[in-house]
Structure 1
């Protein structure tokens, strides 16, 4: 029987006003207690994930972060990450210079920064992002550039510029009033595919060598097994469900075996899904044979 995995978005799906409803938390705990896998799939960074899941005491099996550019385990240890090419952040800042109604953040594995702001960010955002300048970017590895816009036309113009200037190197994903810029190889769907592939690999044999630093791909395990000639153990396949509310979830929905949007999702998102559910708790209850509210 296939193992079952739910890949869930955070903000606007299970996180509302900085908190996760109790019913969703209880449902996720039941899901995992039954031996199923729970994966967080979000545009958030490492520190932004910790900001919400640690106070809530939320437990999960893996998280796909930075819109697919990084994968962490249940202890939020990085197992895979891809950085933006050099020059992307500086070019974005040059493009938006002088524009009103724009905030530019940068996210990395160590810290998240607020670099440019003509919106006037409130105190809630400043608990996640440290105000900084371009000089603070020197020597930093940047994985994502979330940009917030108050005007949809400005956002669309910026998205068009990114596509033309950095095609094949960086990509922008729309998420409500944000555009999240990440490496071109990244997406929530690509992250889910990478994670499922790693979970489907046979475990690597124990080695007396030194342990790695935790950032290498799980794909290295498969190569080690093949090189050593160790017998592969059968691995149960994984059946996947996705739930998410916005445009940046479309690739995740496409990668999953079963996909669900929320009632407030844009029509373009709903059109890509098998259906809609009122909450993650309702999806879990239906999969576990419990009555939904």
Structure 2
């Protein structure tokens, strides 16, 4: 049995849709007796949204075996059962929110994800009110209410890449015990040491405990938050056009699409 871990946004999902060829390739992969793992910065609830996006754009859906959610902090199975999660403390959530307001000159939208729901604390960028975002996707709530709810990650939407890099450094210096992982337009704040790579490693341990032997792990992604996952994979691959350090983490291997990568794996 082999395992394929794929990123979602910018790898499998483009312009709020999943391509037909990619969806069909993933069906073939699982029908051959292999495991499919969705590895994403998205929360548990937003993984389900990805499944809905795939179904509406391809009529196929996006059946998977496991998902590594919220930048590695949470692992769920196909039934949505949480197999493992780590959460920020209430003090860390408060410190991150306050520090963002102090150190960033650029607009930053502050979100907080729990196992059950996604919250918005501040959204000057307007992501939560974008017409392409369903009205019920994010729940507005004050910091005093959200801090103690069991936050798995805090996605910070920062459109300016230089501001995002500076913000990530500042937060890791100012707030004890957190990691800040960048993607294209987000900085995801988690408990220190969490990443897609660590989530994938813990999933491998879970599979071994269940007596499931994985002979090979393949992974495909497009951004910096995929680097840890690519470094853990036996067969890593970056989407064509990914940043140079992401391609380097994939050993220089690139693919034009998930479908092309799956075809190469199964050839």
TM-score (norm 2): 0.90
Assess, with a 3 A threshold, how the Cα gap between structure 1 residues 44 and 187 changes in structure 2: closer, same or farther. Answer: same
- RMSD, aligned CA: 1.7
Assess, with a 3 A threshold, how the Cα gap between structure 1 residues 285 and 166 changes in structure 2: closer, same or farther. Answer: same
Query: 1:4-43 maps to which residues of 2 (within 5 A)?
Result: 4-43=2-41
Q: Relative to structure 2, which stretch is displaced further, 134-143 or 19-28?
A: 134-143
Answer yes or no: is the 8 Å Cα contact 1:104–1:148 preserved in 2.
yes
Assess, with a 3 A threshold, how the Cα gap between structure 1 residues 286 and 138 changes in structure 2: closer, same or farther. Answer: closer
Output the CA distance in 1 between the equivalents of 2:182 and 2:198.
16
Query: 1:216-231 maps to which residues of 2 (within 5 A)?
Result: none
Answer yes or no: is the 8 Å Cα contact 1:93–1:116 preserved in 2.
no
Tell me the CA shift for residue 97 of structure 1. Answer: 2.4
1:132 lines up with 2:141 in the alignment: yes
Query: 1:31-110 maps to which residues of 2 (within 5 A)?
Result: 31-55=29-53, 56=55, 57-97=61-101, 99-110=105-116
Output the CA distance in 2 between the equivalents of 1:285 and 1:66.
28
Structure 2's unaligned 5+ residue stretches are 56-60
2:150 aligns to what?
A: 141
2:126 aligns to what?
A: 120
Q: Who wins on radius of gyration, i.e. which is larger?
A: 1
2:175 aligns to what?
A: 166
2:239 to 262, 265, 271: 262
In structure 1, the residue corresponding to 2:122 is in which secondary structure? strand
Post-superposition CA distance 1:224-265 (Å, at most 9, x none): xxxxxxxxxxx5343100000000000000111110001120
TM-score (norm 1): 0.82
Q: How many residues align?
A: 255
Q: Relative to structure 2, which stretch is displaced further, 33-42 or 155-164?
A: 155-164
